[in-house]
């Protein structure tokens, strides 16, 4: 029984993580097919062992969380998800449940579009509001972005008093490839798949960007309507077509479940010929009165089910494994293989994640491999055809040094990732400099990400240490800057030279060493030279410094480019010694809990949180009676509402600054 409990806990944790990646960050890491299989397993385990069901189980949710970037919209009619089926038997079981209530039920079958579900509202025939599904109850207002979709009518054919429809916004395969080509040419991150591109486009704050993406939509449901009566799904979609909406249903009604399932198989066979992505087909009861009799659960309607197609698989030959170094220094193996067409697009490469993944699947260079790309998601190497091995295949080893800069590559115990330790690594350069100048680190005003990016492009700097050698004329010549900006930046750089030692230690970006640990190290060693000379055994004797932290520190200072970086800082006059006045700790927020919400103008949330924690306070992600303060920026949503209802003190940024300054 303990194994069952652990499995439920594991599935809950994994699904909540991927739910957040999909619905909040728009950055999926696994296919819908794999996600739904895990969810189905969890549902079955919870049904058998309800005593182990966790309070945070994803099975009680309709979807993900609404982002606070846009104004919130509460759906009067919940935008529910669909129950899933992976086999014909599950479809037959669905039919049996339906016919127990509606013996003469008739079905419609439609494509399950792989996009972003939205609600669009009309009053007196005019489009008034559009919103995302969000968590099914609360979504985001994306009206201006939806208006840029050319297949969305801004005015209906008839002046209907009120109409709310639900549709799926998507990007065609051809358009998706054009967008990614453009992003690649401008060295911007690529979209993982067409659905990811559609979601990212709809959630752009600037509608002009959304307009350039050429989004499309299929409307598939009437959520609410006033002024007319519609009795069936077919009649509803015919009505929607008359009003100017783009729909996909072929108007066929199926009297038996076998006929409906044959249609599902037919749609599946045509997937590669479609210009839009689908990840399944949906069976719905046609008659609305029958739907009322069948009812709904808290998560999905009992009158519909989605059949999920298994992932399409193709075999190809792995020719090479190349290493990519990310902005955080993580080395990721990338499989390069003979081009193969999977799920409607040509694929020639796929991430292999880490060395553990390669070892687990026993992937070797020269192997015949199995490629899977369910629902146009990120391609993956799922298996190796070992029967086709000739003996000439080669095992892959992670490099000992970074291919970008030659620095030592390390792997922290307990982590899957291998990382470059070089502070000057070109792949990490931008991120390292942004961290160096940030508030918790050297706190250099005027050097925002856009300024740093421009300095790098103009080759004025290559590392953060170069900032202290930059000339006023070079800064003044940059876009949107001038002599006054140059003077301010140089003054901020000069001021930063007198920062306490712990700020410099934190600014170095040593793995596992944050502001708190930096303070401990500064107070203990007094100089950067003494810290650089410390060994692991000595470091672990310090309270709050663990074995992993000690190893990370020693490995960092063992790298020649890192010691050269520090010498360049020292030569520039940056303070590298501890001042006893640093020990006068500011604990004005000790025992106080803050919640941050909305968009802050003067700080990033991480910066505000660091200030609070540096003064003894704590931050929380949710508002409760135990919350002392809510720091609210613009477009603050439900957290602000809850704070007001509980009588929690709400702070503006100006009031927060006054508290920091002791007023």
Question: Do 152 and 217 contact (CB within 8 A), yes or no?
Answer: yes
Instruction: Find the helix or strand (DSSP H, E) in which 210 lies.
Output: helix 207-212
Active-site residue among 112, 308, 373, 519? Answer: 112
Question: Would residue 373 be called left, alpha or beta, if left means φ above 0 and alpha means ψ between -120 and 50 degrees?
Answer: beta
The secondary structure of the chain in percent helix, strand, coil, rounded to multiples of 5, reads 40, 20, 40
Cα-based angle 449, 450, 456 (whole degrees, multiple of 5): 90
Length of the chain: 663
Question: 216: closest CA among 235, 197, 190?
Answer: 197
If 0-12 CB within 10 Å is exposed, 13-18 middle and 19+ buried, where does residue 387 land?
exposed
- 613-to-310, 592, 623 alpha-carbon distances in Å: 48, 10, 17
Question: 187: closest CA among 430, 477, 437?
Answer: 430
Report d(CA 470, CA 455) in Å as an integer.
10
Long-range contacts of 448-454 (CB under 8 A, 24+ apart): 451/478, 451/481, 451/489, 454/478, 454/479
Instruction: Find the helix or strand (DSSP H, E) in which 571 lies.
Output: helix 560-571
CB hemisphere CA count around 209 (13 angstroms): 12
User: Would you call 626 a catalytic residue per the annotation?
Assistant: no
Residues that are catalytic: 112
């Amino acid at each position: 029984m303990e194994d069952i409990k652990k499995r439920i806990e594991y599935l809950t944790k994994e699904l909540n993580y991927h739910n957040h990646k999909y619905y909040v960050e728009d950055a999926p890491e696994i296919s819908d097919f794999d996600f739904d299989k895990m969810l189905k397993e969890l549902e079955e385990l919870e049904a058998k062992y309800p005593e182990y069901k966790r309070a945070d189980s994803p099975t009680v949710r309709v979807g993900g969380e609404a982002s606070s970037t846009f104004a919130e919209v509460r759906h009067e009619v919940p935008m529910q998800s669909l129950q899933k089926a992976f086999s014909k038997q599950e479809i037959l079981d669905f039919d049996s449940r339906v016919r127990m209530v509606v013996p003469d039920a008739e079905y419609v079958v439609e494509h399950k579009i792989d996009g972003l579900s939205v609600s669009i509202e009309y009053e007196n025939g005019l489009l008034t509001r559009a919103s995302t599904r969000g968590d099914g109850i609360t979504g985001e207002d994306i009206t201006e972005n939806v208006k840029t979709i050319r297949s969305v009518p801004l005015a209906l054919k008839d002046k209907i008093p009120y109409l709310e429809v639900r549709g799926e916004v998507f990007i065609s395969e051809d358009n998706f490839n054009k967008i990614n080509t453009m992003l690649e040419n401008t060295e911007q991150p690529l979209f993982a798949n067409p659905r990811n591109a559609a979601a990212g486009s709809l959630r752009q704050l600037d509608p002009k960007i959304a307009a350039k993406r050429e989004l499309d939509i299929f409307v598939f449901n009437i959520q609410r309507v006033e002024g007319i009566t519609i009795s069936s799904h077919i009649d509803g979609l015919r009505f929607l077509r008359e009003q100017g909406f783009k729909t996909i249903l072929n108007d066929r009604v199926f009297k038996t479940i076998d006929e409906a399932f044959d249609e599902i198989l037919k749609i599946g066979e045509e997937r590669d010929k479609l210009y839009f992505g689908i990840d399944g087909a949906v069976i719905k009861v046609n008659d609305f009165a029958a739907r009322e009799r069948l009812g709904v659960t808290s998560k999905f309607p009992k009158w519909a089910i989605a059949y999920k197609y298994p992932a399409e698989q193709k075999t190809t030959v792995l020719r090479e494994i190349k290493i990519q170094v990310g902005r955080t220094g993580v080395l990721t193996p990338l499989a390069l293989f003979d081009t193969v067409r999977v799920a409607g697009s040509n694929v020639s490469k796929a991430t292999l994640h880490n060395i553990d993944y390669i070892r687990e699947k026993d992937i070797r260079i020269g192997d015949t491999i199995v490629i899977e790309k369910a629902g146009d998601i990120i391609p993956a190497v799922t298996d190796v055809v070992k029967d086709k091995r000739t003996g000439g295949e080669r095992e892959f080893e992670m490099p000992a040094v970074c291919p970008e800069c030659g620095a030592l590559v390390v792997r922290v115990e307990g982590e899957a990732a291998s990382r470059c330790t070089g502070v000057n690594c070109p792949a990490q350069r931008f991120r390292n400099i942004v961290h160096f100048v940030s508030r918790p680190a050297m706190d250099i005003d005027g050097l925002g990400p856009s300024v740093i990016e421009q300095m790098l492009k103009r080759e004025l700097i290559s590392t953060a240490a170069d900032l202290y050698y930059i000339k006023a004329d070079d800064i003044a010549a940059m876009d949107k800057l001038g002599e006054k900006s140059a003077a301010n930046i140089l003054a901020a750089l000069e001021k930063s030279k007198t920062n306490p030692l712990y700020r410099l230690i934190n600014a170095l970006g040593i793995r596992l060493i944050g502001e708190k640990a930096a303070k401990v190290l500064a107070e203990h060693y007094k100089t950067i030279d003494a810290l650089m000379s410390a060994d692991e055994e000595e470091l672990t004797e310090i309270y709050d410094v663990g074995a992993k932290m000690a190893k990370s520190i020693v490995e960092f200072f063992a790298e020649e480019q890192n010691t050269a970086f520090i010498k360049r800082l020292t030569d520039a006059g940056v303070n590298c010694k501890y001042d006893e006045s640093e020990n006068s700790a500011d604990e004005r927020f000790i025992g106080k809990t803050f919640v941050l919400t909305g968009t802050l103008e003067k700080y990033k949330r991480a910066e505000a949180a660091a200030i609070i924690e540096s003064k003894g306070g704590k931050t929380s992600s949710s508002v409760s009676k135990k919350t002392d303060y809510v720091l609210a920026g613009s477009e603050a949503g439900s957290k602000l509402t809850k704070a007001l209802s509980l009588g929690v003190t709400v702070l503006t940024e100006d009031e927060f600054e006054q508290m920091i300054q002791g007023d």
